[in-house]
């Protein structure tokens, strides 16, 4: 967790009092640290346990407030904030640790209802995020440092509607999360992430996105997956839940299968190998790793995987034509985007 939390630098004070969340359709982003480590409760009722997690030298304690631990659904707020900040940074805009957002925009972006009850639940999410405290050992320069921080530093309702609903909200992110944004220690999520309603499905998707990424596959034991997920379920129940997921295949972009030896394998659903002589009509383009590196140099600071997804969508809208040189076509499109930026 050290690298994810220690990287980056806080801009000097006075570089803007707040950042206005006004970017429509920002690509969902999540920070690497909370994707790797189980910082959020998977419970659907108030969870007042103190969570202790140790893995590969990392030691993490998550302490709840009287409102309970922050849940993985509460995390939607952080994902929305990270997404807005990353979109702004990629556009060359100035950002701040304090964000002003419209509650309605947040609810819509995270695929939530916009009823009166939804605003009440949103307020409860802010309260749990502000109250949950994390203590972890961070190793820098050969020295182990124990540090404590919250998920968000503060929040306040700036304006309420006549009926009492929150309209505008100001939220100040913790320094550790803001550093993750500035150092771009984030990954792009599928927009369908917000359609996952079961907490375990969301957590398993996070882990798969972090570890599988663009690799062909990722294999993990049931015991390790249980530990990394942060699930409080007994092993027998957890295994049944995983098998139910294998049958339902709910994860965006990734397929699950059970292997001998108590192992679970995750793989990309639409991974294909480009045939010799170019791609046939309707065959999804496969880009070489060096092509993505080239794209990164053409548009410094841009999320190349988001660019790739946007290019693929454009290719599909155009009728999925045959591509003899998919890599060249992609880089040509990136160059055009760079000129227009």
| pTM to 2 decimal places | 0.76
Q: What is the pLDDT along the chain (341 residues), one digit of tens a residue?
A: 544 444 333 444 334 588 999 888 888 999 998 999 999 999 999 999 999 998 877 889 999 999 999 999 999 999 999 999 999 998 889 999 999 999 999 999 999 998 888 999 999 999 999 999 999 875 544 556 678 888 999 999 887 777 667 789 999 999 889 988 998 889 999 889 999 999 999 999 999 999 987 677 899 999 999 999 999 999 999 999 999 999 999 998 899 999 999 999 999 875 433 333 344 444 567 777 778 778 888 887 677 777 887 888 788 778 778 888 888 899 999 998 888 76
| Distance (Å) of CA 9 to CA 119, 182, 184, 281 | 34, 7, 11, 47
What residues contact residue 124 under an 8 Å CB cut-off, 6+ apart?
A: 67
What structural domains and CATH numbers belong to the chain? 2-191 (no CATH), 199-268 (1.10.10), 289-340 (no CATH)
DSSP 63: E
- Left (φ > 0), alpha (ψ -120 to 50) or beta: where does 111 sit? left
Mark 263-289 as b/e (b = at least 16 C-beta within 10 Å). Answer: ebebbbeeeeebeeeebeeebebebee
d(CA 114, CA 14) in angstroms, rounded, equals: 35
State which H helix or E strand residue 337 sits in.
helix 326-340
């Amino acid at each position: 967790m050290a690298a994810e939390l220690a990287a980056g630098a806080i801009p000097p004070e006075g570089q803007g009092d707040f950042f206005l969340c006004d970017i429509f359709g920002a690509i969902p982003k999540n920070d690497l640290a909370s994707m790797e480590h189980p910082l959020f409760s998977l419970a659907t009722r108030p969870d007042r346990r103190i969570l202790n997690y140790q893995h590969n030298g990392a030691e993490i304690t998550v302490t709840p407030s009287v409102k309970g631990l922050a849940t993985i659904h509460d995390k939607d707020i952080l994902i929305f904030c990270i997404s807005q900040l990353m979109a702004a940074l990629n556009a060359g805009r100035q950002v701040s640790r304090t964000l002003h957002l419209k509650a309605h925009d947040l609810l819509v972006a995270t695929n939530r209802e916009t009823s009166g009850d939804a605003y009440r639940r949103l307020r409860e999410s802010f309260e749990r995020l502000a109250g949950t405290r994390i203590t972890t050992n961070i190793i820098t320069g050969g020295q182990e440092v124990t540090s404590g921080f919250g998920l968000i530093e503060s929040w306040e309702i700036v304006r309420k509607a006549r009926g009492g609903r929150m309209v505008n909200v100001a939220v100040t992110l913790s320094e550790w999360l803001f550093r993750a944004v500035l150092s771009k220690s984030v990954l792009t999520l599928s927009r369908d992430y917000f359609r996952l309603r079961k907490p375990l499905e969301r957590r398993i998707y996070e882990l798969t996105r972090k570890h599988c990424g663009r690799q062909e596959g990722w294999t993990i034991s049931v015991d390790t997956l249980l530990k990394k997920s942060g699930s409080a379920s007994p092993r027998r129940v957890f295994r049944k839940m995983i098998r139910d997921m294998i049958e339902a295949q709910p994860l965006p972009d990734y397929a699950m299968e059970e292997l001998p030896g108590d192992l679970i394998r995750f793989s990309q659903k639409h991974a294909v190998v480009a045939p010799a002589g170019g791609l046939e009509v309707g065959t999804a383009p496969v880009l070489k790793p060096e092509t993505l590196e080239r794209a990164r140099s053409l548009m410094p600071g841009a999320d190349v995987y988001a660019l790739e997804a946007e290019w693929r969508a454009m290719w599909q809208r155009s009728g999925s034509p045959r591509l003899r040189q998919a890599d060249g076509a992609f880089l040509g499109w990136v160059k055009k985007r760079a000129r227009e930026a």
